[in-house]
A and B are shown apart, each in its own frame.
Chain A
Amino acid sequence: MITTRFRGALASAFFMLAAPALAHSTLEVQQAPVNSTYKAVVRIGHGCEGSPTLKVRIRIPDGVIAVKPMPKSGWTLEIVRSAYDKSYDYHGTPLTEGVKEIVWTGRLPDEHYDEFVFRGYLTSGLQPDAMLYFPTVQECEKGADRWIEIPTEGKSAGDYKFPAPALKLLAPKTH
């Protein structure tokens, strides 16, 4: 046990220099062009205040269609389908409904790290340069961490305790 009389500013300056670790729920690839298929890898770094994770739920935002989750051994997979906000053109086929939520059920101790994968199409109607959020709920043995905070204007994810995993949209690639 160490007894310290610390100086806040000094300690803060020291710790700010240390490299950031990855333990918010985030996407592995954090930018992608619209009008393309995107493979999302959601990273879960820890449980809810030490409690093991039993369920990971991801909501699919409007404009992301033809979503397919990747099954995971040891986890059961559910998909919740419902109507899209409008009809989307997917390579000539109109789509009016599809996956809006993915639910993995299993067990992930606080000490372990895991990734949850799905694929989806970023439709051309999405605005390049905007952020697209995939609100994620981590349900645990005790409590839940809801990574669902979407920054309001003038704020960034860093201002929040539980920011939603975010993807920066880029201009479509020219063929």
Chain B
Amino acid sequence: MLAGGGQAFAHAALVESVPADGAVLQVRPAIVHLRFNEPVSPLVVRLIDARGGIREDLSVMMHDHSIGIAIPENLPSGSHILSYRVTSADGHPVAGSMIFSIGHISTSADKPAETSERPIHSLLWLARLVFYLGAFVGAGGALFVTWVAPSLRLLLVGRVLRGFLAAGIAAAIVSIGLQGLDALGRPFVDFPSGAVWLAGLATAFGTSAILASTAFALAFASLLARGGSRRALSLAALAGVGLAFAASGHASAATPQWLMRPVMFLHAVAVAYWVGALLPLAVVVRRFPSQAQPVIRRFSGVAVAAVAVLTATGLMLAYVQVEAPKNLFDTDYGLVLLAKLILVAALLALASVNRVLLTPGLEVSRDKSRHRLGRTIAIEIGLAALVLMVVGLWRFTPPPRALETSRAAAASPVSLHIHMPSIMAGLMVSPGHVGSSQVRIALSSPASRPLDAKGVTLILSRPADGIEPIERSARKVGGNAWQVDNLVLPLAGPWQIRLEVLISDFDKTSLEGTLVVRP
């Protein structure tokens, strides 16, 4: 009989929680009490804290119809989700979630926790700097050694450049993981997690890191190889560096991409040629004075072209990204660009001094000019390093072009349309960021006519994160429009959403979809 007639289970239901669902408290509640209409036993209780950390090792007290869950002491302020799965005497599990906030409701400002984000940003910057050094000093240096000064035995320089390249490969790989942490908003302890690395690879930088690592390895090989193959290897490495820079970053994301990507490629290649030459050049001037003259002449010939290319492409990139001159001073991106421009101007000035005054002087009074040239090249190296440090900051500053679009997108509500054979629902969640949102629901018939209903319940869950359903009933605000005020969504990302629409006393329809909450 039971088998034929389907299950008939007892139905435990939550009667009340203390503190109440949605409460904003000044201090952490020592215990959250959940009272049910019949005796229950807890199966799984999870606390998802305001930073998205999951705590499962909670101690739970059972008492008749209630369970009490001890709340850990070290909770950050913000909104926390207490997710529970209990079973009543017959074994039918009942699950749900309640939200309580300590101090204030979570907002996008305190998500994810600032304290855990900053070290990641510093590391990202550092990894980016080492990556740049690998690309420009390492791969660019290999090009110089193999093409501009192939006849000199630059053993020490070769060893130093290989060091830069190896460090560059390491930095590229570590950056993938760091990018993953940053993309998912995870704390540093999640660094070994596979999901973090996959997320990092999925970012545009993932492609760049792979291209660059390959390029660095080619450059490394070119410094060890003999004969003609070393030139082919270092040239391929240079192309790889160009491709790596064209594949990701703000510039390559700008439209039109068919133009911006090649421009970025040329910019990176020109920088690598110029910056890469500085270190070996300084050594050549000091150690091989007698052979310096032809090497410098060879370098300078192409360098003029390289400087022209990098200036032209640089100005083009800046023009597209900054859009208006006032953005130079009003945005972080603009300030970084200004700093870079000043440093590059100084670098260009020094380079011109070298070319116009000191290089010709090599022929006349060797020692004095050589000494001065060596010194100015050392200053150039310092300036170039500063430029790379400043440029690394761009990782954290969206260009004005993108700011405009993201501001517009952030201000618009998240909307969702769910279609069923008998009913359609349009949802507008504003602002749709982490924190408190308002949900407007419009119901209509498949023919897009307004549809009246007797009741609407909104149910949100995140099974992947072990967050059981959070239920909120909507109130009617006229016609076919329903509203849920102060819906607290403490975590960004996808939430499963279900709308239960009571059409008449006896007819209910469920609509399911996915709502993506912005960080």
Binding site for B on A (CB under 8 A): 1-6, 8, 11-12, 15-24, 26-27, 30-31, 45-47, 49-50, 57, 59, 110, 135, 137, 146, 148-149, 156-158, 161, 163, 166, 168
- The residue in A6, A17, A47, A135 that gathers the most chain B C-beta atoms within 10 A of its C-beta is A6
The contact sample of 29 A-B pairs, CB cut-off 8 A, is A1-B63, A2-B61, A3-B59, A4-B62, A5-B57, A6-B43, A8-B43, A15-B41, A15-B91, A16-B91, A17-B91, A19-B90, A20-B9, A21-B10, A23-B8, A23-B9, A27-B5, A30-B6, A45-B10, A46-B10, A57-B506, A59-B505, A59-B506, A146-B502, A156-B7, A157-B7, A158-B6, A161-B11, A166-B6
Interface residues of B, count at CB 8 A: 38
Tell me whether B7 and A20 are in contact (CB under 8 A). yes
| Given A11-B41, A46-B37, A146-B502, residue A157 in contact with residue B6 (CB < 8 A) | yes
Tell me whether B5 and A20 are in contact (CB under 8 A). no
Contacts of B42 in A (CB 8 A): 4, 6, 11
Contacts of B5 in A (CB 8 A): 26-27, 30-31, 166, 168
Verify if B13 is at the interface (C-beta below 8 Å from A): yes
Q: Which of A6, A15, A30, A149 contacts B1 (CB 8 A)?
A: A30
Per-position 1/0 for B42-67, Cβ under 8 A of A? 11100000000000010111110000
Contacts of B13 in A (CB 8 A): 49-50
State the CA gap A106–B6 with chains docked (Å): 29
Q: Which of A1, A3, A30, A49 contacts B37 (CB 8 A)?
A: A49
Verify if B262 is at the interface (C-beta below 8 Å from A): no
Tell me whether A26 and B4 are in contact (CB under 8 A). no
Contacts of B14 in A (CB 8 A): 49
State the CA gap A146–B62 with chains docked (Å): 29
Tell me whether B2 and A20 are in contact (CB under 8 A). yes
| Given A5-B59, A8-B85, residue A21 in contact with residue B1 (CB < 8 A) | no
Contacts of B63 in A (CB 8 A): 1-2
Closest-CB distance, A163 to chain B (whole angstroms): 8
Q: Which of A16, A24, A137 contacts B11 (CB 8 A)?
A: A24
Contacts of A2 in B (CB 8 A): 61-63
| Given A15-B41, A137-B505, residue A4 in contact with residue B9 (CB < 8 A) | no
Given A26-B5, A137-B506, 11 additional A-B pairs, CB 8 A: A3-B60, A21-B9, A21-B10, A30-B5, A46-B37, A50-B37, A57-B505, A59-B506, A146-B502, A146-B508, A166-B5
Contacts of A12 in B (CB 8 A): 43, 87, 93
Contacts of B90 in A (CB 8 A): 15, 18-21, 23
Tell me whether A20 and B92 are in contact (CB under 8 A). yes
Tell me whether B8 and A24 are in contact (CB under 8 A). yes
State the CA gap A14–B8 with chains docked (Å): 19
